[in-house]
Copies of this chain bind each other. A is one copy, B any other.
């Protein structure tokens, strides 16, 4: 009979090593002060242009006659479709009843977003990539080691191999630190999730062009700069385990999960796919599909010329929000433990009704027409926060492969009882950072905006100690 050795269920050494990386702001390979030059150099090495084009100039993409959906002739990549969302009132849900139509991106394939880790001089470093995406405000941002769909890396895609993918999938991969399916933007994607992975390499790792090793401390510094660390990197960073010494919380874990279950249950949301070309409230033009009142976002198209992509030169549709967003955590300390006010959000494309979002997640322009009584909760508190209450602020943009200039001001704000009461309104709950880290080990608890702010919160914690 075999007598295999067991492992302890929780590896406590990994969080300690991650903490060591976070505390190290001097990397073994690239100094943080040289990072801007390195990134600019990568930008110069790759000439590329992004131009807005009318839908008619899309190559390989067209509006399918039977459905009006925007599809690629290969049947691959993604489609832009219509969605009809109904949120039901009594007796099926708490309502209020809501009913709307919107375009949505359908991309059923699960991709890998992976960061490779390796120790240099006793400190774990993360392998990051300078990656161009057509929708990024500054085109080139810092992305995970790997950012690829399955058909990408199984080579259905006509193009180059995905670099470093062998460290994440297949028999020779490294030691897993985190591996979880996380949702992406539920307001723009229909049930999309990606595999967020952090893997420690065993043995040597060649350093290729466009890649650099950075400590978590260095990345945390870069997270304080505008539009440097891309969304894919931020969501993977949020999944890193960290050392947690605080065991206290306003809600016990059971109460927190019960609150979440209650929020999931009290909303009854139906999302039905409908043809894109007959969406009530939206108008199709030659250059864009847009909301009749100019709100939310446009579907539009771009032409891209670049040479460091798997495929050289392409056209594609993108979603372009009509204005910048605001993402904010309101935080308060209770009993000596910092808590974040989380919001149970319904988004049309979520797999399971609600996920936890930041306290505030809005595009203020979409609400400018509303009277004060109907404005989103906590939005004005965030917009009017005094500078001395702002613990973190930077502008970050969403996935530039699907979204054009989708920038949000990301804020972490110290609040008081007047701003955000101990007993919050329905749909909100105070959650500790340790609890957020426990939740993010599982999929579909924290939405992508909450994960961005969790990465920022972790970056702030490190900086101030």
Contact = CB atoms under 8 A, between A and B. Distances in A.
Interface string A405-423: 0000000000011000010
Contacts of A110: 264-265, 268
A251 B9 CA distance: 7
A270 B177 CA distance: 30
Contact of A352 (B176, B268, B334, B351): B351
Interface size class of A (residues with CB under 8 A): 35 or more
Interface string A187-213: 000000001010000000000000000
Interface string A247-290: 11111111101100110110010100000000000000000000
A176 B256 CA distance: 10
Nearest to A14: B254
Number of identical protomers: 2
A236 to B, nearest CB: 13
A270 B270 CA distance: 18
B254 A178 contact: yes
A312 interface: no
B252 A8 contact: yes
Interface stretch (A23-31, A372-380, A434-442): A434-442
A323 interface: no
A253 B176 CA distance: 11
A66 to B, nearest CB: 15
Interface of A: 1-11, 14, 90-93, 108-110, 150-151, 154-156, 176-181, 195, 197, 247-255, 257-258, 261-262, 264-265, 268, 270, 334-335, 337, 351-352, 416-417, 422, 434-435, 441-444
Nearest 8 interchain pairs by C-beta = A6-B248, A179-B258, A91-B154, A91-B156, A6-B335, A91-B151, A176-B258, A7-B252
